[in-house]
Structure 1
Amino acid sequence: MFRFHSVFNILSDFRSYSHKRGNFMSTLYLCSQKTKLRFMDNHFVLTTFEDEYGRSYEVKRISGRQIDSVLAFGIIAITREALTYCMSNGITVSYFSSNGKYIGSSVSNEAKCSELKLCQYARYFNDVHRLYLAKMIVMGKIRNQIATLKYFSHNRDNAAEQVDQVISQMEMHMKRIGSAESVRELDGIEGVSASLYFGIWRRFLPGELGFVRRIKHPATDPVNAMLSLGYTLLTNLIRGIAVARGLEPSIGYLHEQHSNRPSLACDLIEEFRAPIVDRFVVRGCNLQQFRPEMFSENDPVKGVRFKGDFIRAFFSSWEMFISKNVREYGVAEEDRKDLISLIVRQVDRIAGVIRNGGVYEPFRF
């Protein structure tokens, strides 16, 4: 079983934890500003910064055995002892700005599965294999976007006709994937489909949130801000699982290599964007979990972002959402898996194809 806990509610569930590593994955979110993460007596200890008199106060204490990854947002200090423990125990520490922009990660330098990495490099430099994997990634993304549009339009009679038209156009572009001769051509197909997909989103969202189209950075409205934050969280979750599996996160097949970009995680998130992050954001907006007053005004440089501690509401809802089992095409309700289990399965699937060849089967919503 995989579990997610935030720094502000982790103590309430201590009894539910197993003390055996590997039975679950727990992420420690650090979003209380001007706090410090220490490591003492086999525990992570979150304290306030020292005041003018040299005093600090303990906020939380969590056993080191219960944490598999740490996400630090904004002004968070992590001591050398805490970082050393993380590096020695395979715990990835990821750093973000206060508005959720990914800055970088600290991971152990221990070499794992060198043979798998060599296979991964070989697949990347083999044009036929690389193009095949890139095609499957784009196919999985567009197919799940279509399924998510159908999910959004359920019981929305006023949107049904327009949704059907958009889906018809997306299906037409999806048919072009098989004959694509380059990754660049696939990028074009994916881009056109994404434009069609987000072009109808206003039908599903409250008008006061101001969503017009997908804009990445800086976000111009609350919906875009939450989408970017959700994609960042999910990408880094996938990255951590891929690293633990022994894969090289910077070597992807659809996404080119760029400095400080986990291209493989960027590949694998594509099949999960619509059914996970997009569904989460649209659902939260319609349930009024996320309201205009929770966000700042649009800044020309920083864009729109959560005000103050409102970002806690996002994390709390996110944890609850991803802890539930996910609907999967052709899978009975009693056999569905939670998000983390699905990601582990997909990472294992692509690792198997990288090592042994064969067919890669994307997650299908």
Structure 2
Amino acid sequence: MRHLLNTLFVLTEDAYLSLKDENVVINQNDRILGQIPLITLENIVYFGYKGASPALMGACTKRSVGLCFLTPRGRLLARISGESRGNVLLRRKQYRLADDKEGSLSLARNFIAGKLFNSKVILSRGLRDHRMSVDEKKFTDTIHDFSTSINCARAAKDKDTLRGIEGNAAHQYFSVVGELILRNRESFPFYERVKRPPEGRVNAMLSFAYTLLAHDCASALESVGLDAYVGFLHTDRSGRVSLALDLMEELRSIIVDRFVLSLINREMIKSDHFTASENNVFRFTDDAKRKFLTAWQEKKKEEIRHPFLKEKIPWGLVPYTQALLLARYIRGDLNGYPAFLWK
């Protein structure tokens, strides 16, 4: 159970939520895990299957408290909101901001600057911890270039320029980050990011994990009432969760890339966990996919200190806290959107 930004996160999978004397009661079998006054909440996000009592759902609707149900893995099941509030006003502001050239550019700058900052941190930590195993000059030069790219991203005059800065930085990043693969490099060579189709084992792992992260970001955005399909950097396209792709930019390297490197270096995923097809395209075996997903869920339980909120939360809640902060910015409760800057 976590209480952040007037949002109650219930992470106990077999918990049941009920209402007693205007309090949300978190029940587990015959135990009461906690009670929170409903009046203090704006949202309740529940990861589990047992659900909530009709009385609580009715009270949430009456008091305009959002009640969101997700699977333990984070797939959105349903969301309840009151008539007086709903998501209409928030989404109307989101759509207007998406159509506003300067307003959407300001948000896009934050997403990309956050991405470049976190990518730089990955390389800086890699150089610090594995100086004898990597090309020190190449890492040092790339880290220096990233400092320049971050400043350029924050000052970009239009989205095309911003995309160009991000594209060049991504090419630099992926040309060196493969050196942080410290074991089995012959089975897991990595020199560039190739997406469609993902060539090599590392690209296959990255693509799979990016898909999982995009899914988590989309669920997080929908849980706070935002439209995951209307973005600020990624343009509208039928069936594409553009805002989820925006939100995940700042999280790619610190969540996915570190995770993939860890699986390889700890030899949790090995070369025989893949089947090869034509054109150097690799796919997980069923056993490997289960191992990957199990490790992914365990990773999401690890706690970190949120750099903006200054509170400890599991990694798995980072997309949700960022979605909440984004919603608050769009509503006008924050002067700017605080990207997740890992330190």
Q: Give the conservation status (yes or no) of the 8 Å contact 2:174–2:192.
A: yes
Q: Give the conservation status (yes or no) of the 8 Å contact 2:218–2:243.
A: yes
Residues 84-133 of structure 1 show CA distances to partners (whole Å, capped at 9, x for unaligned) of: xxxxx855899xxxxxxxxxx99769884111110001101111111100
Deviation at 1:363, TM superposition (A): 0.6
Tell me, yes or no, if structure 1 residue 364 matches structure 2 residue 341.
Answer: yes
Could you tell which deviates more after superposition, 110-119 or 191-200? 110-119
Amino acid of the residue matched to residue 284 of structure 2?
Answer: F
Amino acid of the residue matched to residue 197 of structure 1?
Answer: Y
Tell me, yes or no, if structure 1 residue 229 matches structure 2 residue 208.
Answer: yes
**What is the match of residue 304 of structure 1?**
282
Tell me, yes or no, if structure 1 residue 25 matches structure 2 residue 2.
Answer: no
The 3 A distance-change label for structure 1 pair 154 and 93 is closer
**What is the match of residue 124 of structure 1?**
98
Q: How many residues align?
A: 284
Structural mapping, 1:1-365, within 5 Å: 1=1, 17-20=14-17, 22=44, 24-26=46-48, 63-65=49-51, 112-158=86-132, 159=134, 160-205=136-181, 206-207=184-185, 208-300=187-279, 303-326=281-304, 328-329=306-307, 335-356=311-332, 358-365=335-342
Deviation at 1:340, TM superposition (A): 3.1
Residues 181-214 of structure 1 show CA distances to partners (whole Å, capped at 9, x for unaligned) of: 1111111111111111111022111312122211
**What is the match of residue 29 of structure 2?**
none
The 3 A distance-change label for structure 1 pair 93 and 260 is farther
Q: TM-score, normalised by structure 2?
A: 0.75
Alpha-carbon distance in structure 1 between the residues aligned to 2:71 and 2:175: 36
Amino acid of the residue matched to residue 337 of structure 2?
Answer: Y
Q: Give the conservation status (yes or no) of the 8 Å contact 1:92–1:108.
A: no
Alpha-carbon distance in structure 2 between the residues aligned to 1:93 and 1:128: 38
Specify the SS of the correspondent of 1:255.
coil
Alpha-carbon distance in structure 2 between the residues aligned to 1:15 and 1:139: 35
Amino acid of the residue matched to residue 288 of structure 2?
Answer: F
Deviation at 1:236, TM superposition (A): 0.7
Specify the SS of the correspondent of 1:358.
coil
The 3 A distance-change label for structure 1 pair 108 and 345 is closer
Alpha-carbon distance in structure 2 between the residues aligned to 1:274 and 1:134: 17
Alpha-carbon distance in structure 2 between the residues aligned to 1:330 and 1:200: 29
Specify the SS of the correspondent of 1:296.
strand
The 3 A distance-change label for structure 1 pair 345 and 308 is closer
Alpha-carbon distance in structure 1 between the residues aligned to 2:307 and 2:72: 34
Alpha-carbon distance in structure 1 between the residues aligned to 2:12 and 2:69: 24
The 3 A distance-change label for structure 1 pair 229 and 237 is same
Deviation at 1:342, TM superposition (A): 2.3
The 3 A distance-change label for structure 1 pair 185 and 322 is same
Amino acid of the residue matched to residue 240 of structure 2?
Answer: R
Alpha-carbon distance in structure 1 between the residues aligned to 2:270 and 2:318: 30
Deviation at 1:308, TM superposition (A): 2.8
Could you tell which deviates more after superposition, 306-315 or 150-159? 150-159
Structure 1 unaligned residues grouped into runs of 5+: 3-13, 27-62, 67-88, 95-104
Specify the SS of the correspondent of 2:282.
coil
Specify the SS of the correspondent of 1:213.
coil
Q: Give the conservation status (yes or no) of the 8 Å contact 1:215–1:224.
A: yes
Structure 2 unaligned residues grouped into runs of 5+: 3-10, 18-25, 27-43, 53-67
Amino acid of the residue matched to residue 319 of structure 2?
Answer: I
Q: Give the conservation status (yes or no) of the 8 Å contact 2:47–2:70.
A: no
* Identity among equivalent pairs (%): 25
Could you tell which deviates more after superposition, 174-183 or 189-198? 174-183
The 3 A distance-change label for structure 1 pair 202 and 65 is same
The 3 A distance-change label for structure 1 pair 25 and 311 is same
Specify the SS of the correspondent of 1:157.
coil
